[in-house]
Structure 1
Amino acid sequence: MMRVFGPVMVAVLVLGGCASSPPEHFYSLSNGLGVAAPTARAAYYIEMPAVTVPKQVTRNQLLVTTGEGRMDLLEQERWAAPPAAEIGQALSLAVSGELGTIDAFRTPVPENAPVYRISTNVQRFESAPGRYALIDAVWSVRLVGSTQVLTCRSVAQEMVGAGYDALVAGHRRAVVRIGSDIAKAVRALAAGEKSGC
């Protein structure tokens, strides 16, 4: 009888262990962003190539600051896509939505249509649950075909409540703030105004 119950008990214990594993949660920076529809024919387009992020935040798991110089990698709390892709998509939606235009990266545009290329290098992406969400980014705007480049820096820090949903919502607000800075610069350049940071 022991030979029969031995394997059965092992199987029950293994299945019980699997059932008690905590569920994984996935978060997105672009999900829920209110985006205005582009105009029927945009006066100009934007191009947003891939965003670069610090090496320590290239994984899908949330990396949170828990103390002075200490960071924890959370296996059960994950971004829906790598952080660079999440930030890039959210920024693209924020900027194109505010300008009422289209992000035409790797897409043909009408002949002679002005295209503004936006390059973004995220230098800090910090997540401190119950305290703050911070994005520190250096970005540049250049009219494609022109040698003139405007380079600026935006630091957006949002205070957040407890929990990972609140933390991600804080990062969404930070992305919108940076997107607004970029959109303001593009709008000024498109209007022929002298734009600064």
Structure 2
Amino acid sequence: MMRPMNAAAGAVALALLAGCASAPPERFYSLSNGMGVTEAKAPRAAYYIEVPAVTVPQQVARNQLVVSTGAGRIDLLEQERWSSPPASEIGQALSLAISGELGTIDVFRTPTPDSAPVYRISTNVQRFESAPGQYALIDAVWSVRLVGSSKVLTCRSVANEQVAAGYDALVAGHRRAVARIAADISKAVLAIAAGTPPTC
């Protein structure tokens, strides 16, 4: 009796292993990996920035890539995933890109000297669209305010990048879109810090 039972158990184990082996591997993507590693373009700034948590639309607030595949249709890709939720990915990438552009550091949730100016940058992503082989789009409303001041500049940036086929190209397009939005924000911070009227 023992031999047939052992054989059956072994067959089940082999079937389970075969099923696991045949499952496609998961791939993870990042918007911030390598962002801001180049030397800052501006001299060391005499101020800091704060980049609080970014908000994104609920339908893309998940680790799986959400892609547009037709009019009004989206697909959730189980094997293609962000390394962290998109809000975190965008926030980290913006922080690194803006810090590198301005030659400063992001001090969100970090104590700073009382006399140091800190510019708070809030970002609300209203659209985060991914269409493989077509475009990667980020539509964001953002604001810059000197902490302690009631004056605030609120602007909108729409970055629509054409992309080639494949998910690597799609993610690269989103990275370019983040960089464009970061450049818009950096220009505004520079203008405010210089005391000139900022524009969107």
TM score, norm. by length of structure 2: 0.94
**In the alignment, structure 1 residue 85 sits paired with structure 2 residue 80:** no
**In the alignment, structure 1 residue 130 sits paired with structure 2 residue 133:** yes
Q: Cα deviations across residues 18-75 of structure 1 (Å, max 9, x unaligned)?
A: 1111000000001122434568963111001000000011110000001100000000
What is the distance in 2 between the residues matched to 1:186 and 1:41?
14
Q: What percent of counterpart residues are identical? A: 74
What is the distance in 2 between the residues matched to 1:4 and 1:88?
54
Gaps of 5+ in 2: none
Aligned pairs for 1:167-182 (under 5 A) are: 167-182=170-185
| Structure 1 counterpart of 2:78, one-letter code | E
| Structure 2 counterpart of 1:179, one-letter code | A
Q: Specify which of 29, 49, 67 is matched with residue 64 of structure 1.
A: 67
- Cα deviation for residue 10 of structure 1 reads 1.4
TM score, norm. by length of structure 1: 0.96
CA RMSD in angstroms, aligned pairs only: 1.4
Q: Specify which of 31, 35, 38 is matched with residue 37 of structure 2.
A: 35
What is the distance in 1 between the residues matched to 2:105 and 2:83?
23
Q: Per the alignment, in what secondary structure is the counterpart of residue 124 of structure 2?
A: strand
What is the distance in 2 between the residues matched to 1:58 and 1:157?
20
What is the distance in 1 between the residues matched to 2:78 and 2:165?
18
Aligned pairs for 1:1-197 (under 5 A) are: 2-37=4-39, 42-197=45-200
Q: Per the alignment, in what secondary structure is the counterpart of residue 125 of structure 1?
A: strand
- Cα deviation for residue 127 of structure 1 reads 0.4
What is the distance in 1 between the residues matched to 2:34 and 2:89?
13
Q: Would you say how many aligned residue pairs link Structure 1 and Structure 2?
A: 197
Q: Per the alignment, in what secondary structure is the counterpart of residue 171 of structure 1?
A: helix
What is the distance in 2 between the residues matched to 1:71 and 1:124?
14
